[in-house]
Amino acid sequence: MSAFFITSTGTEIGKTLVTAAICHQLGAAGEKVRALKPIISGITDDDWATSDSGIIADALGLPASLDTLNALSPFRYKAPLAPTMAAAAEGRTLDYGDLLKVCSGFLALDGIRLIEGVGGAFVPLSGRTLVADWIADLKLPSLMVTGSYLGTLSHSIATLEAMATRGLAVKAIVMSESAGEGHPDLYESAEALSKLVRLPVMALPRLKGDKPWTHAPDLTHLLS
């Protein structure tokens, strides 16, 4: 399998950092890698270069052009809300059939393909359709990104078990260190989670500097 879905336990957890890091690492290794973040909220066409879509474009070495944005993220909303609410705020509805067509066309391409979701694995997309339904319809294994905040063990296990009941395969978990003070130790939390799930759990510390995804430890082994 050379295609994967990047999902998480919630929003602002670290999906894009993981996606960008994997794109950068595979590209540096000479692999053909493609990424798609088809749905994004809280974005305008004027400021997108600093958005999650812009980060992925940068990691792929793509120009910050409107053509790049349209290819990476065709379903865009201005309000930083769940897709159902963000679309409604603009008098629109996300066309789930069109979303699947875009993803199917992307998955027909060559190379290693990454599709980054929106929000957590159970965020609503359109009507009663959830991100988990999207993953199921694409028939892709996932990498699940979780935080290191207090409560993440419960959230991680609950999300993982909910995905398992739907028959959704998760390859590994990346615990991305949460921003701010007062969180439990990242590495102790990752070790604790690894003892509770039958999956690889990798700790990803906060990364500093310009283009932080270029400083990430190797994540590509999680795809094998």
Q: Give me the active site residues, please.
A: 37
Place of tokens 């130790």: 185
Residue 161 is assigned to a ligand binding site: no
Q: Nearest CA to 143 among 219, 32, 208?
A: 219
Residue 52 is assigned to a ligand binding site: yes
Residue 17 is assigned to a ligand binding site: yes
Residue 219 is assigned to a ligand binding site: no
Residue 61 is assigned to a ligand binding site: no
* The dihedral sign for the CA sequence 78, 82, 143, 141: negative
Residue 41 is assigned to a ligand binding site: yes
Residue 98 is assigned to a ligand binding site: no
Residue 118 is assigned to a ligand binding site: yes
Residue 116 is assigned to a ligand binding site: yes
Degrees to nearest 5, angle at CA 52 with 49 and 53: 60
Query: CA dihedral defined by 67, 86, 55, 99, rounded to 10 degrees?
Result: -60
CA–CA distance, 37 with 19 (Å, rounded to integer): 10
Known binding residues for Mg(2+) are 16, 52, 116
Known binding residues for substrate are 41
Known binding residues are 12-17, 41, 52, 116-119, 176-177, 205-207
